[in-house]
Structure formats: C-alpha cells, structure tokens
Amino acid sequence: MKLKKWITLGAALSFLLAAQPAYAAPVVTAGVNQSVQTPEEAAQEAVQSSGVVAGEAPAGNDNQAAASNQAPTQANAASQAPTAAETAQQSDSANLHQSPTITSGQNQTAAPGTAETNASSAPVSAGEVTGIPEGPGGIKSDPVTPVLPEEKAAQDAAQAADAGQAAAQQAGTVDPSRPMVALTFDDGPQPSVGNRIMDCLAQYGGKATFFMVGDRVGSYKTEVRRMVAEGHEVANHTMNHKYLQKLGAAQIQAQVNQGNDAIQAACGVRPTLLRLPGGNHNATVMANAGMPMIQWNVDTLDWKTRNADKTVAAVLNHVKDGDIILMHELYASTGDAVLRIVPELHKRGFQMVTVSQMAAAKGKTLEAGKLYSSFN
C-alpha cells in the first residue's frame, strides 16, 4: 500500500516538472487586483489536493486521518482560488470602476455601464437644446405681422420729424428757416395754470416765456424751478405790478431790481427781459428800466373775456411767423385755451420758442431801454 502511494506521488511530481513552462508566464488582467502563483506554489497546491505534503513521509495506513487532513486543505484551496462566479463579479467591478478614456470634442461616448447609465449619457450634438420650444433664445416666438415697405418708410419719416423737432427745441435750438411764435404769460406764477401749460408744451417740444411778479414768486418756488429745468424763460414783470409811468426814477429802478432779485432767489436764474405792467411807459420808464422791454403784437384779451374759445380764436385766426402772443397765467380759461392752441400751432408747423430764442433766430440783438413788440 505504501509503495502504491509513493508511486502516485512520483507520477504527480513528474507531471508538474514537465508542465512547468505553462505556468512560467501567468497572464495578468489590467485593472484587477489578482495574485500571481509561482510554479512552486502551483506544485504545492497540486500535492495538497492529492492529500500528500511534499517532503513529508506518509503518515501510515489510516485513510481516515488522510481524509481528515485533506478536507481542510481543500477548504483552504477553495478560499484562495476564486470561483468562476467570483471571477466574473471581479471583472464586472473592474470594468465599472475603471476610468474611461475621453477624447476632447463633441458626440462623446462614455464607457459602457448599466442600461440606466447608457440612457442618460446619450451623446448630444453641439448647440442642441432639448425640452425648450423653438425660437430666439429657446423661447417660442409669436407670429409677426409684416409691415409694407412704404408704410414703414412713412412711419419712420413721421417719427423722425417729430423727434427731431422736439429734440431741437428741448436742446434750445431753433430752425430759422421755419416759422415760430413766442407764447408769453404774465402775472404768475400760478401753479394750477402754469403747470398745465408746461405739461402741454412738453408734449410738443414747445417753450414759453413767463413774466412773473416778484412778490408772488416766493410762494411758488417749485413751479418757477420747473420752468428753468424744462427750458422755459423766466422774466420780470416788476416786484408789485405797479404801473411804472406813475413812478419816479428811483421807484422804477426798485420795482425792476427787486423783481429780478426775487426770481433769482427762487430759481437761481436772473431775468434778462422785462415786461411793463399794462405795457405803459414814458420817457422816465425808458430811461430807468435798464432792461429790454418786451411788448406784444397779438393780444388775446384773456384777462377780460376769460373765455377759452375767444382766446383760441384770438391766436389761431391771426398768428404768423415772428409774433409775440400775450396771455395771462392767472386764469383757468387760459389754461384750457392753451391745451387747444399748442397742438394746432404744432400741426401748422410753428416752433413755439422763448422770446430770447426768437430774437436770436431772427438776428435781433435785444438792448436795454428799448421796446420790442414782434420779430416779423
């Protein structure tokens, strides 16, 4: 019996020595942590599987002892050599955790994964937007009604003309080649009327000249400052609205100077023009006023009629280029009339300018001590 076991052991060793080259170059899979067996370890494992330890004499005739020694050896071999299922699991794990190589550019495909991973990593073309309606910026555009070229040209021309005229007057420029008038308002300030006048003029790019009474200005500074801010002309109508032809030289000078002081204190601008109360004057007034004196050539008599229709007719039935139009800021009827006069003047092509603007456009130099009624 012992002889038979030694023969079996010798045959096993001969087989292992003859097969050694096959185990000399084990194959290692990249990315998987696998152990590599040397030929000696493989021989030892084969001997252990036969129940005999190399270099050790047989233990006797007790087959049960040999069997009991073989069982734990096989168990150890099973724990060292992974099964086919474990090998497959390790391979899958290595594939899932291995970093894929990505080439710079569009339409990339990542390393294979699960079905869920593949579904979410489908390649997207450059510039493609998903889940958003088509249109500029990814927003759905509403249909646009086409405008005929001639209609568009007419609209652009009208808008450009209105914008150019309004911008020119807002900037204080006047076109000397076009007709113009100077709307003037006496006896203010009076915010309930003056603000309505300025609101209307602002819609049409017009300017006006406000001849104010000095002793009223302090109570209505906000309105006076608005006049300056919007490009209207602030002017003097004396301090207390006294008829200057009844006063001496010193009193005339006081009425004029105090009126200028009050207006300047309210808005920061000192007037350069004077309107005489009632337009009354004599040699003493002419010698002592010390400012250009602005009269009028279109008298609406709004102070007398207090009727908007009559005020409108007095202007629109007589207006011409270079006119200075007289109205008064105190009356609501005058405010009503202005709301009708200004749009019509604009429609007729008149520029509504200040007295100083019109004088400059007409090439007139305003001199102190002289009267000016129009610039026709």
List the catalytic residues. 186, 328
Q: Is residue 205 a contact partner of residue 229, using CB atoms and an 8 Å limit?
A: no
Cβ neighbors of 92 (< 8 A, separation 6 or more) are none
d(CA 361, CA 295): 18
Q: Integer distance in angstroms from the first to the last C-alpha of the chain?
A: 151
Alpha-carbon separation of residue 270 from 102, 106, 301, 304 (angstroms): 79, 73, 28, 31
CA dihedral 157, 160, 162, 165 (to 10 degrees): -130
Length of the chain equals 376
Query: Reduced to 3 DSSP states, what percent helix, strand and coil does the chain have, rounded to the nearest 5?
Result: 50, 10, 40
DSSP states of 40-73 as a string? HHHHHHHHHHHT--TT-----S-HHHHHHHHHHH
- Closest by CA position to 294, among listed 325, 268, 319: 325
**DSSP designation for 274:** B
